[in-house]
Chains A and B, each alone.
Chain A
Amino acid sequence: MALFEYTGLDWKIAFTAVTIIILLAAEVYALFVPQGKRFSWVSLITAGLIVAALWLPNAILRTVLLDVAALVLVAFVWGQEKHAGKLFLAAVLIGSVLVAAGMTLGGLFIGGTAQPAGVLGKVVICLLLIGFAIKLAAIPFSFWLAPVSEKSTAMTAVLVICLLDMAEFGELASLRVEAPWVFSSIKWVWIALALLSMFGGAFLALSQTNVRRMLAYSSIDDIGYLVLGLAAGTVGGVLGAVIGALSHSLCKFLLFGSVGVAENDLKHPLTTADRGLSSRNPVAGAAFIVGALGMIGIPPFLGFLGRWRLYFSGLEVGGVGIVIAMAAATALAILYYVRIIHKVWLGETAEGTLSAPKRFIWIEVLFIVIIILIVVAGLFPAILPGLGGR
């Protein structure tokens, strides 16, 4: 059974649309805020490979294309900062090798759906779990994401997190539907991994002073919710996870985009020492706030449609205890986002930053369009392909 038949949401169309939106937005963004040499080509190639991978029926080709896209991004990140590039390369290589080995041994590249017998089955599950955990930067395999987010340009981080990471997550979601045994036989290990990412990501995000590192850990936190939806395996859980992934992409664009604008204005990395940036960049401030609230899953943003389903899947799979744990992790997420919003964006401007900033109208238009999209999709989910009424 395909993901579309299982959930009713056409992931291919939906994620293609999100990829195109983010690609266009990133290209426009890069016209005004420098994103590194040849960014236009890198983003075009990466997005092209990801979209192609989405539509290819062959699992081997899909995996290869996504890995090539990852390597393109590795090279680009490496050019910006060597250490981050090294870590990213390590993650891509180890993750890809483990996933490819698991898929091969499990017969998943050739359409096999049954679990291999005996220890081999467990080895396959082990390879896939660790491989995807590295690719998605789930804790304890999240070593690469924070350096990449911190050291690369804002839109490079967007390509990595919003497109590559979420495309890989789509692969995992497809696997959940096509080979459910990968999850069902060790459901509690997946759930433990999910909870570890949720709480570990949240606590680490709360302790960061660098805003981009905080955003990286918030992604790790969010990955926990998405993985939990897949671990539950119910229709609602998987649907919630894929909607959550779409929302994650759009919201993270707003978050990194607004941080990039502020950094371009201040000429230094954004940290909790900065103050009152909304006075200088009100639209960027609004974009950050909406992105943060969308990530938390507050209605009426798109993230809510995913988040309540994820809570429900938590309730189904683990009872009230799991859902309370999820709510507690979300409370931590509110705390770390609110901390940045109120320290960095709102309130009085810090001394020495009173000069009029350079504002980029087209970037502001982009932010506004994506904010509207997130709200409209939250209120009228029927615009998501195949989802109408479900």
Chain B
Amino acid sequence: MENTEQRAPQGPNPNSQIHDLLSTILGVFAGMLLVTLNLQIGEPAANYPFYKGPKIFPILVLAVMVVSSLPSLYRLIRTFGRSNWWLDGYGWPVKPAIVTFLLVLFFIFGISWIGMEAAVLFFLILSLLVLGYRQIGIVFIYPLLYTIIIVVLFKYALKIWFPEPLILNLFGV
């Protein structure tokens, strides 16, 4: 795949089975939800007729998902064994994947452990390093200034409460 991508021009390829694969996955997901609908949606306390109940709309919507994924499933089966998995010529999304990991690390877990200020600062510094910046002004001074602006905006101007860093408890502070 890597070699194919390097040779091919950049841009989407409507004949690539990547699109059909993703559509089929979404269709299968919808089908599984349909099959397990009684587990996903409980019975209401009152005895509603079906057309007033909580299931009619999800059934319609999931059925549309299943039906609209069928052409993709058909194409996927028809071309089985000689599929073209070419994406778009832009290569693997390494930088977005690392930045997403950093987002999860610093914002979902980091905010409660090290506090908002440190989470923002470390996220910006590490992201800029991952993105290839090496100048001190960009890698250190910009994150510092941006963090100060963020702290002033959220903590002092908007008075948003952020949790005390748990790491301080470990040191008994």
Q: Do A and B come from one complex?
A: no
Q: Taking beta carbons and an 8 Å cutoff, which residues of A are in contact with B?
A: none
